[in-house]
Amino acid sequence: MNEAHTVERPTDIDELFRPTQDERARRGFVSALRNHAKVTMRDAMQRHYEQVIEPAHVALHGHPPVSGAAIEELMQDQPAYQIYGSVRYNAQRMVYLTAIDPIEREHERLVQFARTVASERPAGGTLRLNSELAVPRYVTALDVHLIPGGFHSEYVADDVAQGALIAWGGQASRGANVERADDGGGVARSIATWLKRAHPKFKPAAMLDLGTQSGKNLVPYLDVFPQVEAHGVDVSAPALRYGHVKAECAGKRVHFSQQNAEELDFPDAHFQLIVSSFFFHELPLKATRRILAECHRLLAPGGMMVHMELPPHELCTAWQNFYWDWDAKHNNEPFYVDFRSQELPTLMSEAGFDKDATFMRVVPNVATFDMQQYEGFLAGEVAAPLHGRGGWFVFGARKDG
Ligand X SMILES: C[S@@+](CC[C@H](N)C(=O)[O-])C[C@H]1O[C@@H](n2cnc3c(N)ncnc32)[C@H](O)[C@@H]1O
Shortest approach of ligand X to residue 68 CB, angstroms? 21
| Closer to ligand X by Cβ: residue 249 or 283 | 283
Shortest approach of ligand X to residue 3 CB, angstroms? 28
392 binds ligand X (CB under 6 A): no
| Closer to ligand X by Cβ: residue 139 or 305 | 139
Shortest approach of ligand X to residue 30 CB, angstroms? 19
| Closer to ligand X by Cβ: residue 117 or 237 | 237
Binding to ligand X, residues 264-293 (CB under 6 A): 277-279, 282, 287
Binding to ligand X, residues 152-211 (CB under 6 A): 187, 211
Are the C-beta atoms of 6 and 91 separated by less than 8 Å?
Answer: no
Among 165, 239, 304, 310, binds ligand X (CB under 6 A): 239
Are the C-beta atoms of 288 and 341 separated by less than 8 Å?
Answer: no
**β-pair type (299-308, 271-277):** parallel
| DSSP structure string for 222-253 | HHHSTT-EEEEEES-HHHHHHHHHHHHHTT--
| Closer to ligand X by Cβ: residue 216 or 241 | 216
Build a one-symbol-per-residue string for 299-338: x at contacts with ligand X by CB under 6 A, - elsewhere: ----------------------------------------
CA distance 337 to 325: 6
Query: Which listed range, 96-104, 111-119, 255-263, 370-378, lies at the site for ligand X (CB under 6 A)?
Result: 255-263
As a dihedral over the C-alpha atoms of residue 92, residue 93, residue 97, residue 98, rounded to 10 degrees, the angle is -20
CA distance 384 to 363: 6
Query: Which listed range, 56-64, 87-95, 119-127, 260-268, lies at the site for ligand X (CB under 6 A)?
Result: 260-268
Q: Give me the amino acid identity at 19.
A: P
Among 109, 140, 127, 142, which residue's Cα sits nearest to residue 237?
127
Say how many CA atoms lie within 13 Å of 113 toward its Cβ: 26
Q: What H or E segment, with its residue span, contains residue 203? A: none
| Closer to ligand X by Cβ: residue 18 or 93 | 93
Number of residues that bind ligand X (CB under 6 A): 22
Give the list of residues 6+ apart from residue 25 with CB closer than 8 angstroms, or none. none
212 binds ligand X (CB under 6 A): yes
Q: Write out the residues near ligand X by the rule CB under 6 A.
A: 136, 139, 151, 187, 211-213, 216-217, 233-236, 239, 260-262, 277-279, 282, 287
